[in-house]
Homo-oligomer: A and B are copies of this chain.
Amino acid sequence: MRQIVRNQLIGLALALLASNACLAQRGGPPPLQSPELTASGDVIFRLRAPAAASVRLTSGGDIPGLAPGAGAELTKNADGIWSITLNALEPGTFRYNFNVDGVPTLDPSNRLTSESNRNAWSLFHVAGKAYMDARRVPHGAVSEVTYYSATLGQHRRMHVYTPPGYESDRNRYPVFYLLHGAGDSDNSWSTVGRAGFILDNLIADGDALPMVVVMPDGHPPVAGTGPNGMQIAEFAAEFAADIKPFIEANYRVRTDRDDTAIAGLSMGGAHTLEISMADLAAFGYIGVFSSGVFSINQDDSFKTEHQAALEDAALRQGLEYFWFGIGDQDFLLDTARATVDLFRGYGFDVEYYESGGGHTWMNWRDYLHDFAQQLFRD
């Protein structure tokens, strides 16, 4: 009898450990389900906050119909549980927070997160957009990798996608460097950006070749010299001295130009142009998502800095694919168009795609899906 009681005590203690909501609030009410995806495609968000005067659902611009800053107000029931339902949300992966009386709060009922430059978001996925869903196809792996940056004198982190087969076979693969935006971290492309799932599906369908995708951290922890203090030159220097050599030494990647691609979104597009024009012989495929040369309408610094690459016909000839994609609502639309004009003026064969929409992950996932299909075909 005493042993049964003790076994029940063990069960109780493990139950407390199993429920971290309980660890935060022992003896509190049972955990909520949030977000709940209903069969009809609605998404219900819930937060227990009896003492709050106001709870808002906020996003970083990911959630269609939800204003990025203000968000939408939740409604409180008699139990102190706030809730809101988003009806018939389109398929996709979305980041959100609750704003509780002015405090940005991750959803305590949701363990999934996506890391940004300075904060984290709660994350959820609405299935139904087949190219980014987890389908029954072979899956690659997305690694978190720590490396020492001699340029910066400290440890840094990157994410690396290796395609299905890589971890068991002995082949060399082409390599695609995929850069994030100013608001993001190196974790963003593989969480809200769905990069791993997008590549898995493209490869399974024969629409992309197996490749290693490298997603480094574009924010060196130093003051920057680019527009608004962005570290464009500083990151380009670290990329050339540390990141690309690290990958070539530690992964089975091919290193010739025709097997090397680079692309990036927003700030990562500016990184892409800076890095690729500084070493054009190294990159056969270049993609610029929702971006361009940030200074293009202000001064000629980009042309001056990269004159040699811009004017070298032989180098230009070896560039297999040069693609720009941007939404017609994007605040960088004029910058992208002027950048395309600049490159075309030098004789570059630029593909330019103007989609709908703005400066959002909905577009960047689409662009990755489009761009990756063109890689390493020559």
Q: Give, as a whole number of angstroms, the nearest-CB distance from A244 to chain B.
A: 15
Tell me whether A3 and B143 are in contact (CB under 8 A).
Answer: no
Question: In the docked arrangement, what's the CA distance between A4 and B347, Å?
Answer: 27
Question: Which among B26, B142, B167 is the interface contact of A251 at CB below 8 angstroms?
Answer: B167
Judge whether A136 and B148 touch: CB under 8 Å. yes
- B residues in contact with A284, CB < 8 Å: none
Q: Determine if A40 is an interface residue (Cβ-Cβ < 8 Å).
A: no
Q: In the bound complex, do residue B141 and residue A144 qualify as a contact, i.e. CB atoms below 8 Å apart?
A: yes
Distance, CA A26 to CA B60, complexed state (A): 11
| Contact flags A8-49 to B (C-beta < 8 A → 1, else 0) | 011111110111110111100001000000000000000111
Q: How far is the CA of A97 from the CA of B20 in the complex (A)?
A: 11
Q: How many copies does the complex hold?
A: 2
Q: Out of B3, B104, B121, which one reaches A297, CB within 8 Å?
A: B3
Q: In the complex, are the beta carbons of A17 and B139 less than 8 A apart?
A: no
| B145–A10 CB distance below 8 A | no
Known: A53-B51, A167-B252. A183 touches B18 (CB 8 A): yes
Given the contacts A25-B102, A103-B49, A120-B106, A20 and B113 also touching, CB distance less than 8 Å: no
B134 adjacent to A359 (CB under 8 Å): no
Known: A25-B104, A100-B105, A143-B141. A334 touches B14 (CB 8 A): no
A113–B111 alpha-carbon span in the complex (Å): 10
B120 and A51 contacting across the interface, CB-CB below 8 Å? no
A331 close to chain B: CB less than 8 A: yes
Chain B's nearest CB lies how many Å from the CB of A122? 8
